[in-house]
């Protein structure tokens, strides 16, 4: 049974099938994405980048591994008020315990944000029965 991601569904994020080390996702800007100034909230751009990076990393993991975000740095370049935002992600480096990825968010041909993130890679613990 596929996992559900309620927050991602709420935001309206859509994905192409991620490949090991890369991903492409997008969303159509809606009123719920705007801040009080009528531009897309920075958290929406951050969500695109963080989720895109995670999606690119997950296909490289073993079945018993997980990859929580350690840190992300994002630069915002241009305000967005409408249209479609597209995030493309590429893996920079994957070690045994840490991976680094870069994501670019565009509105059409315009680069509106760029992010770099580090993710921990570790074995999940088996659930204990109590």
Question: What pLDDT digit, counting tens, does each position of 3-45 carry?
Answer: 778 999 999 999 998 899 999 999 999 999 999 999 999 999 9
Domains in the chain: boundaries: 6-123
Condensed to tens digits (0 to 9), the pLDDT of residues 42-79 reads 999 999 999 999 999 999 999 999 999 999 999 999 99
**What pTM does this model have?**
0.91
Tell me the C-alpha to C-alpha distance, in Å, between residue 31 and each of 34, 44, 72, 81. 6, 12, 26, 9
Q: What angle do CA 109, 119, 29 make, to 5 degrees?
A: 35
Q: Is the dihedral of CA 48, 51, 55, 56 positive or negative?
A: positive
pLDDT of the residue at 78? 98
**6-123: CATH homologous superfamily?**
Hotdog Thioesterase (3.10.129.10)
């Amino acid at each position: 049974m596929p996992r559900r991601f309620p927050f991602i569904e709420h935001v309206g994020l859509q994905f192409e099938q991620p490949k090991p080390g890369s991903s492409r996702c997008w969303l159509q800007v809606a009123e719920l994405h705007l801040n009080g100034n009528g531009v897309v909230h920075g958290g929406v751009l951050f969500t695109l980048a963080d989720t895109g990076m995670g999606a690119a990393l997950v296909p490289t993991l073993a079945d018993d591994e997980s990859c929580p975000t350690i840190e992300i740095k994002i630069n915002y370049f241009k305000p967005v008020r409408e249209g479609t935002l597209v995030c493309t992600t590429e893996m920079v480096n994957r070690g045994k315990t840490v991976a680094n990825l870069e994501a670019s968010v565009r509105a059409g041909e315009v680069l509106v944000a760029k992010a770099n993130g580090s993710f921990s890679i570790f074995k999940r613990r088996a659930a204990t029965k109590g």
